[in-house]
Amino acid sequence: MKRKGNLKRKIKIRYVAVLAVLAVLLFMNYGASLVPGLGARFMIVASGSMSPFLNTGDIVVMAGVTPADIKVGDVIAFNVAPRFQQQYNYPQVVTHRVVEVVTVGSDLYFQTKGDATEKDPFTVPAADVIGAYSWKIPYVGIPLLFMRTVYGMGLIASYIIMDITLDHGPAWWKKRQKKEKLMFKMMKETKGIRKAVENLSNSTAPAHRILLKRKESGKVEVAETNKPAGLTVRRRA
């Protein structure tokens, strides 16, 4: 019983680990707002546009920042407007370096550029800034990037299905076989009971049969079948 309990505990730990990975992926994909109380957002670098400063797979921490405090040379993360995403094939969130601060009246805009690419074909409004670069963990996010792909999600799903099948499949199959054996036994017993009833019916059947026939004249004719010895049949008109 103790061994079975330990096995269930190990299975639960594996499931918790898989769910934790999925939670991290969802957080990094959809956690667009800054983390309340922490003032930072964790992001995975998905391209080499900022190489060699930021490489694909680096996990970057973007700290909250006041747009007025941003200066040329800072690396910022910002939301890309949907029309620019479609027009220039940009992702929803980009991390690039500020190369120019543009002031239009009371509005503030930033011209950005990847260290390994040309200037972005649009300026970033201050309202779209998510945060400024704080620190990074090199290459740790590479496995997470793979898990974000269709193949990665398929791998996680396959692992969960195989894990459940290997852990619960044998017990399910054994239970099914036990059920089939019980049904077969019940059918065999039912067949035996039916045969016994038929034998009993045959043993209690009459030793002879009498057939009555009425002729056209109105008289009744009695015909005996399997008449036992010593049996006298009287015929009446």
Q: CA-to-CA distance for 211 and 220, rounded, in angstroms?
A: 10
Strands 107-113 and 40-44: unpaired
pLDDT at 82: 93
Enumerate residue ranges in the chain where pLDDT < 70.
Answer: 1-40, 167-168, 189, 191-194, 196-237
Query: Which whole-number Å values give the CA distances from 237 to 133, 171, 219, 225, in the listed order?
Result: 123, 78, 5, 20
Q: CA-to-CA distance for 113 and 94, rounded, in angstroms?
A: 10
pLDDT at 13: 67
Q: The pTM is what?
A: 0.55
Q: Give yes or no for a cis peptide into 52 (omega within 30° of 0).
A: yes
Taken in order of first residue, the domains within the chain and their CATH numbers are 42-138 (2.10.109.10)
Determine the 3-state secondary structure of 222 from DSSP. Answer: strand
